[in-house]
Amino acid sequence: MNVLDFFEKSTGTWSVQRTTHHLAFKMSEAGESEVNIQALGPTDAQVAQVCAMHEFDASDALGGAYFTWGGTVEFDEKKHAGETTLVAIPDPEDPQQGQILRDKGYAQEVPAVGRYQINPEGVLTVVTPYQGTEAEEKVWFVTPNCRARVSLVRVRGGVTTMTFCSEIRRLSPEEVNRLAAEINLQAGET
């Protein structure tokens, strides 16, 4: 699996339950959100825009993903929403890793360039440096419709924030019926 395969496998709407640990303040908070992910091909206009923003040649891009989200966080009455586009530029000698371009960052809402890697087990790791901080995010599929995500934000003194998310894909009624039929068939075979 390459990073574009990972984005394509992630396409859809996800219900996210999140717990964030603010280590410096010795407190935790919960949150929930809905994340929509759309895979982008290498010739998509958004891919070209993000490449141009970072002065990369769009012909080097494998593709990318467009994310939108909205949700709530404990202790904060306002709704949180946003969007970002990620573009993968694979290393020529090893397409399982490369640079990831963002129009808005994870830890800071500024354009950012980081590194990605997909290991043999299919875990996507993205490390993005910012001014004074670094964000590391690991995402993997538990099942085709369930993902786990762990994020760390580091400063010079160590990890300041750690977040764990469980993400469940929202299925259409047709998809639910198809999966139920498959489960019933498998149950009948045993």
CA distances from 130 to 104, 105, 136 (A): 11, 8, 11
For the chain, 190 residues long, give each residue's pLDDT as a single digit of tens: 999 999 999 999 999 999 999 888 888 999 999 999 999 999 999 999 999 999 999 999 999 999 999 998 877 777 788 999 999 999 999 999 999 999 986 657 789 999 999 999 999 999 999 888 999 999 999 999 999 999 999 988 788 899 999 999 998 888 878 878 888 877 776 5
**Is CATH 3.40.640.10 the right assignment for the domain spanning 3-189?**
no
Q: What is the pLDDT of residue 174?
A: 85
Q: What DSSP letter does each residue of 40-63 carry, written as one string?
A: E-TT-HHHHHHHHHTT--GGG--E
CA distance 177 to 160: 44
3-state SS class at 130: coil
Query: What ranges do the domains of the chain cover?
Result: 3-189
Q: What is the pLDDT at residue 63? A: 96
Tokens of 20: 């964030």
3-class DSSP assignment, residue 108? coil
Predicted local confidence at residue 190, as pLDDT: 58
